[in-house]
């Protein structure tokens, strides 16, 4: 009897056949499922900057450029003790402010931005942080990312925060291949309802900081691995992957000195106590 096996050439052709492309609808469904899974993994996701009011959050977010939220949180207590209001900060001696915020890096440029935005708040907004995107982005040192952080977390206005973690993960998950943060924001905004934007941002950033790292993602310890088209870029061995986990996932403190009450990890150490 003749064999029913396909010819060797047919096998080769089958092996070379490209995988079926994911439809946009399938991608949207997968993206929304990832968001639901992350909500279960990080029910306590929150902004990782310490703040008590919109002004403190605005200042802390400006300081967070090119440094960690932890370093900002360790620096802002002294800063806000010295300059608790926009009026106080606008009147600061630049050299004295520079010395306080030096641990955050780029302290001269950041001082210039803080003095400028504080003066603008004093002179143009009555000493109050505005609650509109178009007003916030006019302030010195404030772009869309900073504005969305402030709107989402100080005013309850939904916004997508595209930082380095967010951009890296949405590209790994094949939600978009855009590199420009504004374009990334627009694409992701079209995938999720507006009500999800702020918490989605927190969940994605939490995941990027704790598991899906830039250089060596902990793929073998990732709870959404079955949904990730980039699985295997990092360590897939479960035991080795678990050793890569950061912050509370690995038993270490997170970024905040004053975390929310439901945060499962320890508070971060104060400056000089690491």
| Whether the Cβ atoms of residue 170 and residue 204 lie closer than 8 Å to each other | yes
**Is 145 labeled as catalytic in the residue annotation?**
yes
CA separation (Å) from 151 to 29, 32, 39, 133?
A: 27, 23, 21, 7
**Is 135 labeled as catalytic in the residue annotation?**
no
Q: Which of 20, 163, 240, 266 is labelled catalytic?
A: 163
CA separation (Å) from 144 to 63, 99, 152, 153, 223?
A: 15, 28, 12, 14, 30
Whole-angstrom Cα distance, residue 47 to residue 66?
A: 17
Q: Which of 123, 145, 216, 266 is labelled catalytic?
A: 145
Whole-angstrom Cα distance, residue 93 to residue 214?
A: 38
| Whether the Cβ atoms of residue 24 and residue 79 lie closer than 8 Å to each other | no
Catalytic residue ranges: 145, 163
């Amino acid at each position: 009897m003749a064999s029913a096996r396909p010819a060797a050439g047919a096998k080769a052709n089958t092996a070379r056949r490209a995988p079926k492309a994911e439809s946009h609808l399938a991608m949207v469904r997968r993206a929304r499922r990832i968001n639901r899974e992350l909500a279960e993994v990080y029910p306590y996701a929150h902004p990782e900057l310490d703040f008590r009011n919109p002004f403190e959050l605005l200042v802390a977010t400006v300081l967070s450029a090119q440094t960690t939220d932890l370093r900002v949180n360790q620096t802002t207590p002294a800063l806000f003790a010295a300059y608790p209001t926009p009026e106080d900060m606008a009147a600061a001696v630049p050299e004295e402010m520079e010395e306080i915020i030096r641990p955050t890096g780029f302290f001269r440029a950041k001082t210039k931005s803080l003095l400028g935005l504080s003066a603008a708040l004093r002179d143009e907004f009555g000493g109050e942080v505005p609650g509109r995107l178009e007003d916030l982005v006019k302030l010195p040192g404030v772009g869309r990312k900073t504005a969305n952080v402030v709107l989402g977390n100080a005013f309850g206005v939904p916004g997508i925060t595209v930082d380095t973690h967010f951009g890296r993960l949405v590209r790994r998950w094949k939600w978009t291949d855009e590199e420009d943060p504004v374009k990334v924001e627009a694409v992701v905004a079209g995938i999720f309802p507006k009500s999800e934007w702020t918490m989605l941002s927190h969940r994605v950033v939490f995941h990027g900081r704790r598991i899906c790292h830039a250089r060596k993602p902990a793929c073998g310890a990732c709870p959404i691995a079955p949904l990730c088209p980039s699985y295997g870029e990092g360590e897939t061995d479960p035991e080795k992957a678990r050793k890569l986990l950061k912050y509370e996932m690995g038993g270490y403190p997170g970024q905040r000195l004053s975390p929310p009450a439901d945060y499962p990890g320890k508070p971060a150490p104060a400056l000089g106590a690491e």
